[in-house]
Amino acid sequence: MQNAMKPKLLSLAVASVLSATSYSALAQEAEAVEAAPTDETTEVIQVTGIRGSLNKAADIKRSSAGVVDAISSEDIGKFPDTNLAESLQRITGVSIDRQNNEGNRVTVRGFGPDFNLVTLNGRTMPTAATDRNVNSSRAFNFNEIASESVSGVEVYKTAKARNASGGIGATINIQTRKPFDFDETKYSFSAKGVHDTTVEKGDNITPDISGMFSTKFADDTFGILVAASYQKRDNREEISASDGWLPENLNAIPRENLNFANPATEHYWMPQNFNVDVSDHERERINGQVVLQWAPIDSVEVALDYTMSRFEDEIERNQLGVWFNGGGGITGDVDANGTVTKFTQTDSNVDFFGYSDKRETENDSIGLNIKWQVNDGLDLVFDAHSSTSEAQPDKNANETFAITGVGNVGGVTMDYGLGTDIPGMSIDLLNAGNTHGYTDSLYDQENIGSLFVASNGTYQKTDVDQFKLAGTWLNDGNSDLNAIRFGADYTKYETNTQRRQSQRSTGYYNANFPFASRGNVDTDGWELIPLNGLLSDFSKGPLPEYLYRYDVDAHINQLESLWYDDHIGESHPAYGETITEDYLTTFNDGNLIQNHFIEEKTYALYTSFDFQSEFNGMPLNVLAGVRYERTEVNGSSLAPEYTHLRWNSGNEMAVTNTGEEFFTDRDSSYTEFLPSLDMDIEIVEDVIARFSYSNSMARPDLNAMRETVAIGETKAFGNLNANAGNSALKPYLAQNFDLSLEWYYDEGSYVAAGYFKKIVENFIVNTSSDQEIAGLTDPAFGPDAEAAKASVSDPSVQGDVLAALQGIRFAAGTCGNAVLGLDPATGGADCAIIGLDSDPLASFNTTAPQNGEDAKVDGWEIALQHMFWDSGFGIQTNATFVDGDVDYDVTQVGEAFALTGLSDSANFVAFYDKDGIQVRAAYNWRDEFLAGIGQLRVSNEPVFTEAYGQLDLNASYDINENLTVFFEGINVLEEEFRQHGRYDNQLVRAEQYGARYAIGIRGTY
């Protein structure tokens, strides 16, 4: 009986693919089932739970054209994992990035978050994030959407003409529920208490609640669905990190100060800093959705929906840190790889950092969908939405921090050569003769001074307006052509990123600073946190005893009342600003220092043809299509109005500006044709072979597209440098090949193996070229400079040439003093040498992103899903092996190209689901991978994320057909996270995660 039904089931599945009017495979399946005739005496049994979810996912994989994987909800309000990214990582070829011990972005087949397109109900969604480095990204943040309102997720690994471009790795479609999905009124709720084992500040148990209500009325022609969720989570992060590893041209340590291994390396790296910190998070997430559906006549269905989310993370962070200035004050040892492993810096500052961060994101989307069955052979769908994602919507600074500590201690010694995960650090507080008069303890209040207070603010807003018209024509004839799909899309994508920054001096550790003195920092209420108790899951070298934990806002208020109130109206000695009553506490809004706009308008047309035939008696399905897209781009960025190059001294050249700013502006466009072909053939019953070929594309990196030019280091005699963006970058283009074999040997059980290859062009690399900027002229060349060089004995001595040039300009009355607001009668060394019209145009060595590199990536995906008959037991396991010519060469110094995110991965899930009892254990592993090129303080240095594995558990018991109690455990083995630079001993970040547990109840009526 089971075998006899399989052709019918397959036919229904194929019919669902061909006849549906939605973009969604799950929606197609639902519509096909609803359309199928039923016998009144037939009992429909709906399988839910783990088995039901996996069965549906297997059916979608089997019936879809191309390579498609899916996750279905186990029941209303119950997704396999509480976080969508955590669920996605169970799919073959999908890996995730984590933030604060929670999945937030995905990598598919080695292509990172920016190479994957995430849609919500087929709609492109905007994203915005707060990042102190003002990094913009197209990647979707999965931790901002609750899983309870999601009915399913589809991962399209092969391109389809009907899907919007943007997913070289994959297109991921998240589906939410609608009232017409249900035959009757439905209520569901879930309530659980969550405990994070790391929490120190906040609540030990935090709430996570959700609910949904759906009903239909007016003879089932009108429906409404309302869903909402609220989650609060408190936890602590324990971190040790460095902002970056400086190569020798930046660390400036003389080679003679270092002891090299034999043989000595040409290049050597030292850390910019070292710190240990604790961060206490209080996080809240609110999600809501309202969907209205109306069927005025049998052939028309209208849906209006609104979706929102609010995400807020308040962070209090405290840190012990040391900044290494490099240069001749450092001596040490260098290992065989060039890492400065053990070194000492004299006259170091030991800093006690305090941070107060508040990160907010608001997402809103409103959409309209109209389906019209014109006749038995033609369906039309119109879909439109307007969506916004906004980070830091008040545009104020989201981070305020203060640095206190002990200045100019005798010395700090770092040891990265111990073979431990975290290096050793020792501090000699007293220098020879104790000239600073310190007491014996680093933590004594008498020794502590203040450095400065500062604020950073990043604002980002992204808007997407999208309109789609899609049609499906069904052929009722006898030909192999079953259906033709066609459509047109218009998408407007706009993003604006701003950065604000301010800083106020509070002494720079100077005991004689006019408004401050060492020992006046009030440490009452400060807490000493033992460092030996932190990061206990890592191997560590010896560290200082404590770090200080203190309230940043209270500290700033104390500084203002203690030091600044008595000096209102005076001029600040470091900045020349007038001291006001609220000098320290009102600077948080910050000064706008960056402002970038990017707009993309995309026009698309597509068509595809569905064929069903036979080849030597074997069922054959073919889906062939092509997508045309034209994208118009405008990039605009705020830039200073440069006026002159000024030769100040020796080799020092500076750029002056008017203090005014203007927006740069650039238009560009590109057009692409993207063909696609999917073929599958059932070789024998239940064994399906697939072949797919497609062209796909992903849009350029938003950071590289910023249309700005920033002048960098400027030195006399032609050593002028600048950095630029490029909004005219072309998209990444890929040719994709897929070949796979699948055997569906029982209900819900299958084994599959697939090979994929991607040939990608237009990867972005930084290139250098000579460019003229803003008409600036170079005073180190030209007739006056040549005369000055001729008048000195050695024209290569820049200081002598400058002195001679000052004499020439003063005699000619062409000093730049008047331009700079100085006395033009001043001569000699006070004669300002600026570029004049008679000087040649300055040539800047300008580094800018360009399309250039090509890459090949290929790999294997192997998957097994097996149900052990009617025992209730089952397993789901898969592995992905990827390779390519895109690895990072750690021996290459300078600009480099490599693909981030490329790594092998594996999953194993074991479960039991029978008689109302469900238990699941899921283990995910990801090998080491290149996370990025560019450390916080060093642009060209790599960051590698080390191999990571995580075990999650959940169990539930059905009290009755409506109520279920459940338990969840996430990262129960409390695995830690570590990143390094070129080599393992170049620590970039070590973060200790804890486990998270939840107990709750769920109901469906």
- Judging by beta carbons within 10 Å of its beta carbon (0-12, 13-18, 19+), is residue 326 exposed, middle or buried? middle
* Model confidence at 241: pLDDT above 90: yes
pTM exceeds cut of 0.75: yes
* Model confidence at 356: pLDDT above 70: yes
Residue 588 covered by a domain: yes
User: Cα 791 to chain center, whole Å?
Assistant: 57
Running DSSP on this structure, what letter comes out for residue 62?
Answer: H
Q: How far apart are CA 907 and CA 948, in angstroms?
A: 12
Q: How far apart are CA 408 and CA 436, in angstroms?
A: 8
Question: 982: alpha, beta or left, given left = phi > 0 and alpha = psi -120 to 50?
Answer: alpha
Q: How far apart are CA 866 and CA 55, in angstroms?
A: 10
Tokens of 168: 């070289």
Answer whether the bond into residue 542 is a cis peptide, omega within 30°.
Answer: no
Q: How far apart are CA 71 and CA 1, in angstroms?
A: 28
User: At 11, is the secondary structure helix, strand, or coil?
Assistant: helix
Running DSSP on this structure, what letter comes out for residue 162?
Answer: T
Tokens of 462: 């992204």
Distances (CA, A) of 577 to 588, 591, 762: 16, 14, 49
Opening angle at CA 336, ends 981 and 414, nearest 5 = 60
User: At 984, is the secondary structure helix, strand, or coil?
Assistant: coil
User: At 470, is the secondary structure helix, strand, or coil?
Assistant: strand
Q: How confident is the model at residue 822 (pLDDT cuts 50, 70, 90)?
A: low
Q: How confident is the model at residue 574 (pLDDT cuts 50, 70, 90)?
A: low
Chosen domain end from 577, 592, 607: 592
Number of independent structural domains in the chain: 2
Tokens of 576: 């020349």
Nearest to 924 by CA among 883, 966, 876: 876
* Model confidence at 887: pLDDT above 80: yes
Alpha helices in 669-797 (DSSP H): 783-791
Mean pLDDT along residues 11-29: 34
The residue with greater pLDDT, 18 or 260, is 260
User: Cα 125 to chain center, whole Å?
Assistant: 15
Q: How far apart are CA 128 and CA 495, in angstroms?
A: 9
* Model confidence at 78: pLDDT above 90: no
Percent of the chain with pLDDT over 90: 58
Residue 568 covered by a domain: yes
* Model confidence at 828: pLDDT above 80: no
- Judging by beta carbons within 10 Å of its beta carbon (0-12, 13-18, 19+), is residue 500 exposed, middle or buried? buried
On whether the CB atoms of residues 834 and 646 are closer than 8 A, the answer is yes
Distances (CA, A) of 960 to 1, 212, 245, 727: 31, 19, 59, 59
Residue 663 covered by a domain: no
* Model confidence at 911: pLDDT above 50: yes
Residue 545 covered by a domain: yes
- Print the domain residue range for 10: 1-44
Backbone angles phi, psi at 617, to 5 degrees: 85, 0
Handedness of CA 148, 150, 153, 159 (dihedral sign): negative
* Model confidence at 38: pLDDT above 60: no
User: At 580, is the secondary structure helix, strand, or coil?
Assistant: coil
Percent of the chain with pLDDT over 70: 90
Distances (CA, A) of 267 to 52, 187, 247, 569, 668: 58, 65, 7, 52, 41
Residue 211 covered by a domain: no
Mean pLDDT along residues 785-812: 90
Q: How far apart are CA 69 and CA 60, in angstroms?
A: 7
User: At 399, is the secondary structure helix, strand, or coil?
Assistant: strand
Go through 523-562 and write b for each residue having 16 or more CB atoms within 10 A of its CB, e for each that does not. beebeebebeebbeebebbebbebbbbbbbeebbebbbeb
Q: How confident is the model at residue 515 (pLDDT cuts 50, 70, 90)?
A: low
Q: How far apart are CA 633 and CA 727, in angstroms?
A: 7
On whether the CB atoms of residues 639 and 511 are closer than 8 A, the answer is no
Report the pLDDT value the prediction gives residue 19, as an integer from 0 to 100: 34
On whether the CB atoms of residues 829 and 806 are closer than 8 A, the answer is yes
What pairing do the DSSP bridges indicate for beta strands 719-724 and 399-415? Answer: unpaired
Report the pLDDT value the prediction gives residue 540, as an integer from 0 to 100: 96
Tokens of 183: 């035959």
* Model confidence at 829: pLDDT above 70: no
Residue 575 covered by a domain: yes
Running DSSP on this structure, what letter comes out for residue 773?
Answer: -
Mean pLDDT along residues 274-300: 96
Q: Which residue has the tokens 């040549």?
A: 786
pLDDT digits (tens, 9 = 90+) for 389-448: 999 888 777 888 899 999 889 999 999 999 999 999 999 998 888 888 889 899 999 999
Chosen domain end from 570, 592, 614: 592
Mean pLDDT along residues 896-923: 93
* Model confidence at 311: pLDDT above 80: yes
pLDDT digits (tens, 9 = 90+) for 837-872: 999 999 998 888 899 889 999 999 999 999 999 999
* Model confidence at 268: pLDDT above 80: yes
Query: Letter for the amino acid at 646?
Result: R
Average pLDDT, the chain: 87
Q: How confident is the model at residue 135 (pLDDT cuts 50, 70, 90)?
A: low
Residue 284 covered by a domain: no
pLDDT digits (tens, 9 = 90+) for 548-567: 999 998 888 887 776 666 77
pLDDT digits (tens, 9 = 90+) for 448-488: 988 888 888 889 999 999 999 999 999 987 889 999 999 99
Running DSSP on this structure, what letter comes out for residue 532?
Answer: G
Residue 343 covered by a domain: yes
Alpha helices in 64-173 (DSSP H): 84-88
**Per DSSP, what are the bridge partners of residue 235?**
281
The residue with greater pLDDT, 769 or 894, is 769
Q: How confident is the model at residue 244 (pLDDT cuts 50, 70, 90)?
A: very high
What pairing do the DSSP bridges indicate for beta strands 340-375 and 378-391? Answer: antiparallel
Distances (CA, A) of 53 to 356, 726, 867, 970, 987: 43, 46, 12, 20, 42
* Model confidence at 266: pLDDT above 70: yes
Report the pLDDT value the prediction gives residue 130, as an integer from 0 to 100: 67
Chosen domain end from 592, 624, 658: 592
For the ranges 537-546, 700-709, 926-935, the lowest mean pLDDT is seen at 700-709
The residue with greater pLDDT, 509 or 298, is 298
Count of alpha carbons within 13 Å of 880, Cβ hemisphere only?
Answer: 27
On whether the CB atoms of residues 123 and 363 are closer than 8 A, the answer is no
**Per DSSP, what are the bridge partners of residue 171?**
117, 156
Distances (CA, A) of 259 to 127, 268, 330: 49, 11, 12
